[in-house]
Amino acid sequence: MDSREERGLQIANSRRLRQNRSGQWLVPSQSGFGDYSVNLENIEQPVCTCPDFEIRNKPCKHIYAVAYFVVRERNQDGSTTVTQSVTVTTRKTYPQNWTAYNAAQTNEQDKFQELLRDLCAGIPEPHIQRRGRPSISLADAIFAAAFKVYSGFSGRRFMCDLRESHKRGLISRVPHYNSIFNYLEDDGLTPILFDLIRQSSLPLAEVEVDFAVDSSGFSTSRFTRWYDHKYGKMMEKADWVKAHIMCGVRTNIITAIEIGEKASNDSPFLPKLVKTTAESFTISEVSADKAYSGVKNIQTVAALGAKPFIPFRKDATVKPGGLWEKLFYYFKFRSDDFLLHYHKRSNVESTFSMMKRKFGDSLRSKTDTAMTNETLCKVLCHNLVVLIHEMHELGVEPIFWAETGIVGQS
């Protein structure tokens, strides 16, 4: 239920709605000045005389108020009887480019491996002198770890796909499945994966200007157990890894990620996410929920030339002067315009939903380092899948490592 529906319900419950002789409904203005006329002759396209409807040509709060009012009739005993059904259609539909979608889906796995190979090709190899058998290259190690996360198979079952990648010339050697687990245990892989995620988002730098921030958890197979004296028994709860991300609202590409403690607050992570994104993207808007409301976060976004759309908490008060006061009054008195921008925040929830449906919402790793690296691999896989779709949808040609620099050092 959006804000107009909520206010329409409030009007229906608190104001007296009546019909005139021509059958139109008269709805009192919430500001207290006069009535607005709602015409329901055409149920599919109701009409209201208020300025909001005239500007947007979409159902306003007065239309919703009438819709709620006419579907019920109060009996003397206080019960409610449905007498008429009025449906207000507001859902916006978006056309699907099925040709591009089908092409992306039917070629995804092949193209995913090619993009992953190109991305890993820019990783510099450390110069380490060791005795014995030569170790596998860092590029092949990361390719194997990320491709395993993409496949969703166990280490043993995944070997068939990895041998096929070797035949295609995408990796130089096929590692043992136990070696893949060892790679994820290496904390030296973590900064490299962070840089690969950033690098994988760069081909869409000209596409994304509006961004959204949120966090979500990935469950693990590790449990925390304790004895509850109140209930007199052992209790347990699964641990999880909490990921904080910033994504573009048009393509759902993830431009920055931070891994925090499972019970960590969301608000402190926003400045780092915004600054990391601003290194490669031009930011116009940033949307986030109330958990990120704070003076520092608003100032950080504004300092980068972007507009913050972060709703205020119920207990928020006006702080005279400065940006906080301006945004507070904008949020309070121009809420309709504010919500049109804030609605873009739903795209970050869609991003988490996409990633979890495709690559799972749980982690197989056991240690903290491996769980962090596995989470980063999921994000990297998501970005590459997004790029594949935009290659067919927007004609984007991903080129990695166009800028100079050393991976893992930023």
- Give the structural domain span for 272: 208-362
DSSP 8-state class, residue 213: E
Evaluate if residue 16 carries a pLDDT over 90: no
pLDDT score for 76: 44
Evaluate if residue 405 carries a pLDDT over 60: no
Separation CA 201–CA 121 (nearest Å): 16
Of the two residues 372 and 92, the one the predictor is more confident about is 372
Residue 73, H or E segment: strand 73-74
Separation CA 109–CA 147 (nearest Å): 10
Residue 240, H or E segment: strand 233-248
Instruction: Determine the average pLDDT of the residues in 66-72.
Output: 75
Separation CA 192–CA 189 (nearest Å): 5
**Residue 370 resides in a domain:** no
Location of structure tokens 């993830």 = 254
**Residue 397 resides in a domain:** yes
**Residue 301 resides in a domain:** yes
- Residues 193 and 285 grouped into a single domain: no
Closest of 402, 315, 352, 326 to residue 122, by C-alpha:
402
125 burial type by CB count under 10 A (0-12 exposed, 13-18 middle, 19+ buried) = exposed
265 burial type by CB count under 10 A (0-12 exposed, 13-18 middle, 19+ buried) = exposed
- Residues 19 and 149 grouped into a single domain: no
- Residues 212 and 174 grouped into a single domain: no
CB 240 within 8 A of CB 217: yes
Separation CA 377–CA 193 (nearest Å): 7
How far, rounded to the nearest angstrom, does the alpha carbon of residue 248 sit from its chain's CA centroid?
A: 8
CB 205 within 8 A of CB 259: no
CB 410 within 8 A of CB 190: no
Please give the mean pLDDT across all residues of the chain: 86
Q: What is the pLDDT of residues 386-397, one digit of tens each?
A: 999 999 999 999
pLDDT tier for residue 214 given thresholds of 50, 70 and 90: very high
40-49, 73-82, 166-175, 186-195: which has the minimum mean pLDDT?
Answer: 73-82
- Residues 192 and 212 grouped into a single domain: no
Q: What angle do CA 326, 332, 338 make, to 5 degrees?
A: 80
- Residues 328 and 269 grouped into a single domain: yes
Q: Which domain-ending residue is among 362, 385, 401? A: 362
pLDDT tier for residue 131 given thresholds of 50, 70 and 90: low
Backbone angles phi, psi at 375, to 5 degrees: -65, -45
- Residues 232 and 324 grouped into a single domain: yes
- Residues 224 and 346 grouped into a single domain: yes
Q: What is the pLDDT of residues 264-307, one digit of tens each?
A: 899 999 999 999 999 999 999 999 999 999 899 999 999 999 99
pLDDT score for 133: 58
In the numeric block, which tokens belong to residue 353?
A: 């939903």
Evaluate if residue 83 carries a pLDDT over 50: no
pLDDT score for 80: 45
Other Cβ atoms within 10 Å of 300 Cβ, number: 20
pLDDT tier for residue 132 given thresholds of 50, 70 and 90: low
pLDDT tier for residue 1 given thresholds of 50, 70 and 90: low
- Residues 224 and 339 grouped into a single domain: yes
pLDDT score for 184: 93
The pairing of strands 35-39 and 47-48 is antiparallel
Other Cβ atoms within 10 Å of 392 Cβ, number: 18
In the numeric block, which tokens belong to residue 27?
A: 């709805």
Q: What is the pLDDT of residues 229-275, one digit of tens each?
A: 888 888 877 788 999 999 999 999 999 999 988 888 999 999 999 99
Q: Residues 6 or more apart from 228 whose CB is under 8 A from it?
A: 234, 235
The CA-based dihedral angle spanning residues 169, 391, 199, 158, taken in that order and rounded to the nearest 10 degrees:
-40
- Residues 193 and 314 grouped into a single domain: no
For the chain, helix, strand, coil in percent to 5 are: 45, 15, 40
- Residues 74 and 121 grouped into a single domain: no
In the numeric block, which tokens belong to residue 71?
A: 């579907």
Evaluate if residue 78 carries a pLDDT over 70: no
The CATH number given to whatever domain includes residue 261 is 3.30.420
Evaluate if residue 33 carries a pLDDT over 90: no
- Range of 103-107, 129-133, 321-325 with top mean pLDDT: 103-107
**Concatenated DSSP letters for 124-168?**
PPP----SSSPPPPHHHHHHHHHHHHHH---TTTTHHHHHHHHHT
Strand partners, 48: 38
Instruction: Determine the average pLDDT of the residues in 193-208.
Output: 95
Separation CA 359–CA 388 (nearest Å): 16
**Residue 93 resides in a domain:** no
In the numeric block, which tokens belong to residue 382?
A: 């998501």
pLDDT tier for residue 75 given thresholds of 50, 70 and 90: very low
Evaluate if residue 195 carries a pLDDT over 50: yes
**Residue 87 resides in a domain:** no
DSSP 8-state class, residue 57: -
- Residues 340 and 382 grouped into a single domain: no
Separation CA 243–CA 230 (nearest Å): 33
Of the two residues 238 and 204, the one the predictor is more confident about is 204
Of the two residues 189 and 136, the one the predictor is more confident about is 189
Other Cβ atoms within 10 Å of 354 Cβ, number: 15
- Residues 194 and 105 grouped into a single domain: yes
Total structural domains within the chain: 3
Evaluate if residue 217 carries a pLDDT over 80: yes
